Protein backbone atom coordinates (compact mmCIF):
# COMPACT_ATOMS: atom_id res chain seq x y z
CA UNK A 1 0.00 0.00 0.00
CA UNK A 2 1.32 3.42 -0.88
CA UNK A 3 2.26 5.38 2.17
CA UNK A 4 1.74 9.03 2.90
CA UNK A 5 5.05 10.84 3.20
CA UNK A 6 3.56 13.08 5.88
CA UNK A 7 2.53 10.22 8.21
CA UNK A 8 5.21 7.57 7.41
CA UNK A 9 8.76 8.46 8.49
CA UNK A 10 10.24 5.48 6.55
CA UNK A 11 8.51 6.36 3.30
CA UNK A 12 11.63 7.66 1.52
CA UNK A 13 13.78 4.66 2.45
CA UNK A 14 10.98 2.21 1.52
CA UNK A 15 10.48 3.82 -1.90
CA UNK A 16 14.24 3.95 -2.49
CA UNK A 17 14.57 0.29 -1.53
CA UNK A 18 11.74 -0.68 -3.88
CA UNK A 19 13.33 1.24 -6.78
CA UNK A 20 16.75 -0.32 -6.11
CA UNK A 21 15.28 -3.84 -5.94
CA UNK A 22 13.40 -3.29 -9.21
CA UNK A 23 16.51 -2.01 -10.95
CA UNK A 24 18.54 -4.95 -9.60
CA UNK A 25 15.96 -7.42 -10.94
CA UNK A 26 15.99 -5.78 -14.36
CA UNK A 27 19.80 -5.74 -14.41
CA UNK A 28 19.97 -9.40 -13.35
CA UNK A 29 17.70 -10.41 -16.22
CA UNK A 30 19.19 -8.21 -18.94
CA UNK A 31 22.73 -7.04 -18.32
CA UNK A 32 24.22 -10.04 -16.53
CA UNK A 33 23.54 -12.58 -19.33
CA UNK A 34 24.97 -10.18 -21.90
CA UNK A 35 28.08 -9.56 -19.78
CA UNK A 36 28.55 -13.32 -19.25
CA UNK A 37 28.21 -13.99 -22.99
CA UNK A 38 30.68 -11.21 -23.82
CA UNK A 39 33.17 -12.55 -21.28
CA UNK A 40 32.79 -16.05 -22.66
CA UNK A 41 33.37 -14.80 -26.18
CA UNK A 42 36.43 -12.75 -25.23
CA UNK A 43 37.99 -15.51 -23.15
CA UNK A 44 37.17 -18.09 -25.80
CA UNK A 45 38.89 -16.05 -28.49
CA UNK A 46 41.85 -15.48 -26.18
CA UNK A 47 42.19 -19.19 -25.41
CA UNK A 48 41.88 -20.09 -29.10
CA UNK A 49 44.52 -17.54 -30.08
CA UNK A 50 46.93 -18.61 -27.33
CA UNK A 51 46.31 -22.28 -28.15
CA UNK A 52 47.09 -21.74 -31.83
CA UNK A 53 50.18 -19.77 -30.90
CA UNK A 54 51.31 -22.57 -28.56
CA UNK A 55 50.79 -25.18 -31.28
CA UNK A 56 52.76 -23.07 -33.78
CA UNK A 57 55.62 -22.59 -31.33
CA UNK A 58 55.59 -26.29 -30.48
CA UNK A 59 55.81 -27.21 -34.17
CA UNK A 60 58.64 -24.75 -34.69
CA UNK A 61 60.46 -26.21 -31.69
CA UNK A 62 59.98 -29.79 -32.90
CA UNK A 63 61.19 -28.87 -36.36
CA UNK A 64 64.21 -27.03 -35.01
CA UNK A 65 65.01 -29.86 -32.59
CA UNK A 66 64.82 -32.43 -35.38
CA UNK A 67 67.08 -30.31 -37.56
CA UNK A 68 69.62 -30.04 -34.73
CA UNK A 69 69.39 -33.79 -34.10
CA UNK A 70 69.94 -34.57 -37.77
CA UNK A 71 72.91 -32.18 -38.04
CA UNK A 72 75.11 -34.66 -36.18
CA UNK A 73 75.23 -37.25 -38.98
CA UNK A 74 74.30 -34.90 -41.87
CA UNK A 75 75.22 -31.42 -43.04
CA UNK A 76 72.84 -28.51 -42.33
CA UNK A 77 71.16 -28.32 -45.76
CA UNK A 78 70.46 -32.06 -45.86
CA UNK A 79 69.21 -32.12 -42.29
CA UNK A 80 66.71 -29.35 -43.10
CA UNK A 81 65.06 -31.15 -45.99
CA UNK A 82 65.15 -34.51 -44.22
CA UNK A 83 63.47 -32.86 -41.21
CA UNK A 84 60.79 -31.37 -43.44
CA UNK A 85 60.29 -34.73 -45.14
CA UNK A 86 59.91 -36.53 -41.80
CA UNK A 87 57.48 -33.99 -40.32
CA UNK A 88 55.51 -33.82 -43.56
CA UNK A 89 55.21 -37.60 -43.60
CA UNK A 90 54.04 -37.65 -39.98
CA UNK A 91 51.40 -35.01 -40.71
CA UNK A 92 50.26 -36.88 -43.82
CA UNK A 93 49.86 -40.06 -41.76
CA UNK A 94 47.90 -38.22 -39.08
CA UNK A 95 45.69 -36.65 -41.75
CA UNK A 96 45.15 -40.03 -43.39
CA UNK A 97 44.12 -41.56 -40.07
CA UNK A 98 41.61 -38.75 -39.50
CA UNK A 99 40.21 -39.17 -43.01
CA UNK A 100 39.78 -42.92 -42.48
CA UNK A 101 37.99 -42.32 -39.19
CA UNK A 102 35.77 -39.70 -40.82
CA UNK A 103 34.60 -42.17 -43.45
CA UNK A 104 34.12 -44.83 -40.78
CA UNK A 105 31.73 -42.62 -38.78
CA UNK A 106 29.59 -41.77 -41.80
CA UNK A 107 29.09 -45.43 -42.65
CA UNK A 108 30.09 -44.85 -46.28
Domain definitions of the chain by residue range:
11-106
Q: Do residues 67 and 79 lie in contact, with contact meaning Cβ atoms separated by under 8 Å?
A: yes
- C-alpha to C-alpha distance for 8 and 30, rounded to whole angstroms: 34
Considering only residues 60 and 2, tell me which one the structure prediction assigns the higher pLDDT: 60
Residue 63's contacts (CB-CB under 8 Å, 6 or more residues apart) are: 83, 84, 87
The length of the chain in residues reads 108
Q: What is the pLDDT of residues 7-24, one digit of tens each?
A: 778 888 888 999 999 999
Residue 3's contacts (CB-CB under 8 Å, 6 or more residues apart) are: 10, 11, 14
Q: What is the mean pLDDT of residues 22-40?
A: 91
Q: Residue 107's pLDDT is what?
A: 54
Burial 72-98 (b: 16+ CB within 10 A, else e): eeeeeeebbeebeeeeeeeeeeeeeee
Q: Residue 79's pLDDT is what?
A: 95
Q: Residue 28's pLDDT is what?
A: 87
- C-alpha to C-alpha distance for 101 and 108, rounded to whole angstroms: 11
pTM more than 0.85: no
Q: What is the pLDDT of residues 75-107, one digit of tens each?
A: 999 999 999 999 999 999 999 999 999 876 665
Amino acid sequence: MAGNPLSDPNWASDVTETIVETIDKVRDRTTKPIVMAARGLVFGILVAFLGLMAVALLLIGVSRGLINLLEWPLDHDTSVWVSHLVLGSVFCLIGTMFMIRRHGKEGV
